[in-house]
Structure 1
Amino acid sequence: MEEIFKNKMLLVVAPHPDDEVLGCGGLIGKVKKEGGKVYVLIMTAGVSPLYGSTYNLEGFLKETADAMKFMNIDDYEINLGPEFNNKLDTLNQLKLMDIIERDSKLALNKIKPDIVAIPFPSAHQDHVVVYQAALRACRPRPAELKPFQSIVLSYEYGQNQWASSDGFKPNFYLNIENFIDFKCQALSFYKSQLRPFPQYISEEAVRTLAKMRGIDVGVKAAEAFQVHRILV
């Protein structure tokens, strides 16, 4: 299984900046360590003056750029303007799917990733519609018709359990004992988004969730995912 990430290309589809770190910070570190490439397709970035938020868009975009540089991300793109932040559900699903499948410079049809990580649909409307669009964009077709991604995973973040009664049911775990510090350092660049524990965008919450998922599988720290497809 160690070879599963070696020299592979990972595309993380993120509704907003910081989602890629919360859900896939360890996975990103692992793929880069194994000689692979990592791209982050972000739908939108904006200012949400809720729950103690006091930040401006320019500063948030700088934080995003700094986090991407720290993680050695090969490329990233924010595809929609701030007017769509927390309003992605007002867009046609076909629009979102087209961004992921063909329109973004990091679209599936252009970079042809081996692995795609998409957000699990929590109660956040942006995460729900991005999940739906990304899953449709990854639908299987013969290789001569469209690029095929051999691994498609949904990633977890702190509020996943505040979702439908089905909830997040992890069935793929990544040991991130050697990457939890990397993940927390990457998150630290998003200073405007950090909150005191027990809010989920905090270093303590990230480490606590990693420990809990580690307990699931007998390691000190893990990231959990829900598998949609693995072809070997």
Structure 2
Amino acid sequence: MNKSVLVVAPHADDETLGCGGTILRFVEEGYNVHWLLITGMSEDSGFSQAQIKKRDEEILRVSEAYQFSSVHQLNFPPAQLETIAKGELIGAVCQVIGTVEPEQVFTVYRNDAHSDHEIVFDVITSATKTFRYPFVKKVYAYETISETDFGMKPEDGGFRPNVFINIDKYLDRKLDILEIFESEVGVFPFPRSRKALDALASIRGVQAGTSAAEAFILLKEVL
């Protein structure tokens, strides 16, 4: 059985917001979980050396906390993915998928408010075509509080999950890891806050008949 999982994050912290508890659970259950970061801070994209150093330290601490099997950083400019040729993005992602050979892939929801999320969703859709990578058996979209809940596209029916993963045992650790990203976390009612994530886990838990859960849309499954 292939127990390789790839978690795709447009920005560092998306993986924790959307599936931090699931990552912790999968690792404990013996899965090899890999982290793919699409964007990264650089001076060219407007960040100071101090900001870049701090984010590098945060990524290292988070990767150690999750015990990722590998971390892949593509370092495309954040909030500027629309300036990159789609083929270049797909090629970079395909290299990682070809290396990791994941059975399961987790990515962001296409109709999030952040333009990077829409682009990353489309790239992952292309990069996980069955004829290209037949070892990919499941593709999921996760929700990212502060982006998914602020999507306002009239044609979007909203995030309607059909898969729920029990994270009762892992919620507190997920929230602790979130707080490593100091610049991304705020005080409630800021959406990227401990209280907000706890509340969302409770709501998803109610839907799943458990105390805490994370929710996903199953996009593809090959049996």
- Give me the TM-score of the superposition, normalised by structure 2: 0.89
SS of structure 2 residue aligned to 1:153 = strand
1:189 to 172, 180, 195: 180
Counterpart position of 2:193? 202
CA deviation string 1:77-123 (max 9, x = no partner): 22125xx1110111111111111112xxxx11111011100111201
8 Å Cα contact 1:108-1:147 kept in structure 2: no
- Which residue number corresponds to residue 113 of structure 2? 123
CA distance, structure 2, for counterparts of residue 111 and residue 45 of structure 1 = 20
Counterpart contact for 1:14–1:42, Cα < 8 Å = yes
Instruction: Return the match for 1:94 from 77, 87, 91.
Output: 87
- Preserved CA contact (<8 Å) 1:174 1:222: yes
Matched, 1:146 2:133: yes
Matched, 1:172 2:130: no
- Report the alpha carbon displacement of residue 216 of structure 1 after superposing the two structures with TM: 1.3
Provide the identity percentage.
30
Match of 1:162 among 143, 150, 160: 150
Please give the secondary structure, in 2, of the residue aligned with 1:128. Answer: helix
Deviations 1:17-74 (A, max 9, x none): 111111110110111011111111101123899xxxxx71211121111011111111
Separation of aligned partners in 2, 1:146 and 1:41: 17
Counterpart position of 2:125: 135
Task: Give the letter aligned to residue 70 of structure 1.
Answer: A
Query: Aligned to 1:56, what secondary structure does the other structure show?
Result: helix
Q: TM-score, normalised by structure 1?
A: 0.86
Distance in 1 between the 2:75 and 2:55 partners? 15
* AA in 1 matched with 2:106: A
The list of structure 1 runs, each at least 4 consecutive aligned residues, that deviate by more than 4 angstroms after superposition, is none
The answer as to whether partners of 1:45 and 1:78 remain within 8 angstroms in 2 is yes
Matched, 1:73 2:73: no
Kept after mapping to 2: 8 A contact 1:112/1:147:
no
Matched, 1:58 2:45: no
Distance 1:46 1:212 in 2: 33
Residue in structure 1 matching 2:15, options 11, 20, 41: 20
Three-state SS of the structure 1 residue aligned to 2:159 is coil
In 2: Cα distance, 1:167 partner to 1:95 partner: 30
Q: Distance in 2 between matches of 1:109 and 1:77?
A: 12
- The amino acid across from 2:142 in the alignment is Y
1:112 matched to 2:112? The reply is no
Q: CA separation in 2, counterparts of 1:149 and 1:33?
A: 21
CA–CA separation in structure 2 for the residues paired with 1:68 and 1:110: 18
Question: Which consecutive residues of structure 2, in runs of 5 or more, have no partner in the other structure?
Answer: none
CA RMSD of aligned residues (A): 1.8
Gaps of 5+ in 1: 1-5, 50-54
Provide the C-alpha distance between the structure 2 equivalents of 1:88 and 1:10, rounded to a whole number of angstroms: 24
Match in the other structure for 1:43: 38
Letter in 1 for 2:174: K
Deviations along 1:196-223, one digit per CA (max 9) or x if unpaired, are 1122211111111101111112211110
